[in-house]
Amino acid sequence: MKRYSPMVAIDVATKDEAISLFDQLTVEPRPILKLGMELYYHFGPEIVRAAQQRGFKIFLDLKLHDIPNTVKRAMFVLGQLGVDFTTIHAAGGSEMVAAGAAGLRAGAAAVGLPAPRLLAITQLTSIDEAALHSEQHVDLSLVESVQNYARLAEAAGADGVVCSAQEVQTIRQVTGPDFLCVTPGIRPQNAAKADQKRVVTPRQARQLGSNAIVVGRPIIQSRNPVKAYEQIEHDFLEAED
């Protein structure tokens, strides 16, 4: 099974903080850097280029969700940035996901770059069964909802999903063998869950079949981000079961 180096969520407020983390994390194997809404809305493509210049692969996590034409046009722009992964909300429907996939691949082709992997958001790891029913008014179970979104995303041309590691095995029951499962909600043993609800350790994520894990606060808020990353990387990629 394809596994990627851990993705480190650079969820900080300033460019200086981000650059400091970029410079600290230039270790081997390199993490993939996840750049999200806060940094991108503030600094735009400049922050992507700053990370790329240091040799990092980029997961640009903007979670597009709009009418199909708007998403297609936005993805055309993102496809030209040379990032490796980006995201779209499966809840936008199959037409929107298909339009996003087409725009992303067309944008990359226009500048002679490989297309980024498109990951569809299923249910956020801050959502639990109670919120699914009482707030979203979804009659399916959480697992059934995630499976439904995964099937929809694959059929519409997405390369994988973002999901809880707890749901990977059920997603594999309804998708093809190369469909990616990228899992946030990762916390080392005894770390605080904070606002995450469906969490697992790096080793558990590996055992459950995650292709990649996303880790933020346990690394970027650590006194030694490099040491924290290396331990998580070892637990996910190298530790014996």
Residue with tokens 């990228």: 182
- What residues are annotated to the active site? 63
Sign of the alpha-carbon dihedral angle for 182, 188, 194, 196 = positive
DSSP state of 194: T
Q: Are 145 and 83 in contact (CB under 8 A)?
A: no
- Cβ-based burial of 45 (10 A; exposed 0-12, middle 13-18, buried ≥19): middle
Q: Which helix (H) or strand (E) holds 77?
A: helix 68-78
